[in-house]
């Protein structure tokens, strides 16, 4: 599917990569579509979770997880409340938000990236100063931000990392979400949201307290928590599929991916994250990094590139060892100790892990 993508962009938007799937769903979708939506809520959910359509079109799963989570998220977008995806890093908040916007609006690009420096212009509008000076305030001099554009066109706007945005800038969203209108006092006008407009925000659990949402803003959102994969098997499924997708998208040479090797990466990350071994429940220390599913995907993909270009074409322990070391040892001193202890007390003793233990020892010197 991605191979036939019409564009050579390094990272096409979801609506570009999956244009064929979205078109097939649009044809097959006979259910009621909320005003301004490109697909019905049912079809959006099928797009996200994957299915095979009656005409044989394969819809690939994007988000791998509980159907109910996706249904609640999609249903929220069809109401007058906005959607807040909450979770620890690497739980696919950004990923899901992009796919929801692509499926609902056919456009995932109306995006505000939340940082401490996000200014009100990003949420509202700014000015083309050359024009403003030459002509004074006019419609032509106004530069709409992504939220304003989404309102005017009746699409979804995405706000990434909402809680990193300073509170006074967050407050600009309150009017937008409650009044569904954005006043432009300089022109004596306002932009009224067209039907189909809504907002998907993401926020990191770990940022809680950075710029907590005001209660006024929180009330405008329905919060959906994206969970960490519950079991090794679930996480293994996510990593295996995403690694295969990524390998195709990056056109990496085919590498027979050893499930055992992927399982090992997932196991190491889970054990370090949870602070206990999967088999005996023996305590291990946790390093400072998050070691999320997303990082496991990166480590395995990096390993495949190594194996393809410099190895014997099979994913080996040595191909993932450097990636794991890099992900685990963020702080060279304290994480280094944690990692060495894990290697000596857990990896060394485990049956079938000799090669892996040696490869990791070699990297950590």
Ligand X SMILES: Nc1ncnc2c1ncn2[C@@H]1O[C@H](COP(=O)(O)OP(=O)(O)O)[C@@H](O)[C@H]1O
Residues that bind Mg ion in the complex, under the rule CB under 5 A? 93-94
In the list 89, 126, 166, 326, the residue contacting ligand X (rule: CB under 6 A) is 89
In the complex, minimum distance from the CB of residue 294 to ligand X, in angstroms, rounded to a whole number: 3
In the complex, minimum distance from the CB of residue 89 to ligand X, in angstroms, rounded to a whole number: 4
Residues whose CB is less than 8 angstroms from the CB of residue 256 and which lie 6 or more positions away in sequence, other chains included: 313, 314, 315
Backbone angles phi, psi at 105, to 5 degrees: -110, -10
Please choose which of Mg ion, ligand X, none residue 77 contacts, taking the beta carbon within 5 to 8 angstroms, the exact cut-off set by kind. none
Contact 33, 40 (CB under 8 A): yes
* Interface mask toward ligand X for 25-64; x: CB under 6 A: --------------------------------------xx
Q: Treating both helix axes as pointing N-terminal to C-terminal, what angle do 167-179 and 146-153 enclose, rounded to 10 degrees?
A: 10
Contact between 92 and ligand X by CB under 6 A: the answer reads: yes
Stretch that binds ligand X, among 29-37, 104-112, 277-285, 293-301 (CB under 6 A): 293-301
Q: How far is CA 273 from CA 110, 230, 284, 288, 292, in A?
A: 34, 13, 9, 9, 8
Name the DSSP class of 139: G
In the list 40, 91, 257, 277, the residue contacting ligand X (rule: CB under 6 A) is 91
In the list 18, 95, 197, 339, the residue contacting ligand X (rule: CB under 6 A) is 95
| 311 CB burial (10 A radius; 0-12, 13-18, 19+) | middle
Q: Where are the beta strands (DSSP E) in the chain?
A: 51-52, 58-59, 82-87, 111-113, 125-127, 142-144, 156-160, 181-184, 189-192, 198-204, 221-225
**Residue 217: in which H helix or E strand, if any?**
helix 215-218
Q: Which is nearer to Mg ion, 102 or 193 (CB)?
A: 102
Number of residues that bind ligand X (CB under 6 A): 17
In the list 34, 87, 146, 247, the residue contacting ligand X (rule: CB under 6 A) is 87
Q: Which is nearer to ligand X, 22 or 96 (CB)?
A: 96
Contact between 297 and ligand X by CB under 6 A: the answer reads: yes
Query: Residue for token digits 């083309």?
Result: 128
Which positions from 195 through 234 interact with ligand X, judged by CB under 6 A?
A: 202
* Residues of the shown chain interacting with ligand X in the complex, contacts defined by CB under 6 A: 63-65, 87, 89-95, 202, 238, 242, 293-294, 297
């Amino acid at each position: 599917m991605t191979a036939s993508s019409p564009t050579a962009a390094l990272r096409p938007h979801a609506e570009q990569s999956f244009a064929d799937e979205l078109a097939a769903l649009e044809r097959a979708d006979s259910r009621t579509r909320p005003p301004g939506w490109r697909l019905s809520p049912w079809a959006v959910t099928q797009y996200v979770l994957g299915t095979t359509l009656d005409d044989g079109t394969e819809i690939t799963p994007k988000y791998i997880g509980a159907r109910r989570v996706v249904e609640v998220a999609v249903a929220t977008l069809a109401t007058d409340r906005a959607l807040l995806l909450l979770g620890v890093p690497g739980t696919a908040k950004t990923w899901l938000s992009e796919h929801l916007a692509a499926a609902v609006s056919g456009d995932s690009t109306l995006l505000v990236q939340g940082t401490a420096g996000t200014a009100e212009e990003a949420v509202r509008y700014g000015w083309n100063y050359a024009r403003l000076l030459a002509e004074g305030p006019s419609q032509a001099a106004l530069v709409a931000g992504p939220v304003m554009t989404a309102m005017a066109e009746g699409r979804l706007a995405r706000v990434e990392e909402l809680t990193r945005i300073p509170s006074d800038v967050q407050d600009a969203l309150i009017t937008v979400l409650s009044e569904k209108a954005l006043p432009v006092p300089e022109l004596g006008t306002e932009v009224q949201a067209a039907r189909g407009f809504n907002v998907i925000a993401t926020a990191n659990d770990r940022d809680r307290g950075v710029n907590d949402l005001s209660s006024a803003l929180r009330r405008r959102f329905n919060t959906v928590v994206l969970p960490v994969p519950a079991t090794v098997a679930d996480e293994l499924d996510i990593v295996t599929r995403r690694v295969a997708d990524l390998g195709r998208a990056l056109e990496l040479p085919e590498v027979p991916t050893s499930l055992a090797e992927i399982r090992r990466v997932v196991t190491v990350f889970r054990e370090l994250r949870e602070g206990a071994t999967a088999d005996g429940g023996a305590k291990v220390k946790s390093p400072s990094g998050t070691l999320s599913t997303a990082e496991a995907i990166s480590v395995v993909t990096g390993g495949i590139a190594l194996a393809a270009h410099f190895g014997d074409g099979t994913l080996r322990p040595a191909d993932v060892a450097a990636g794991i070391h890099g992900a685990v040892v963020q702080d060279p001193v304290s994480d280094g100790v944690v990692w060495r202890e894990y290697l000596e007390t857990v990896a060394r003793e485990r049956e079938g892990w000799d090669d892996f233990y040696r490869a990791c020892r070699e990297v950590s010197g």
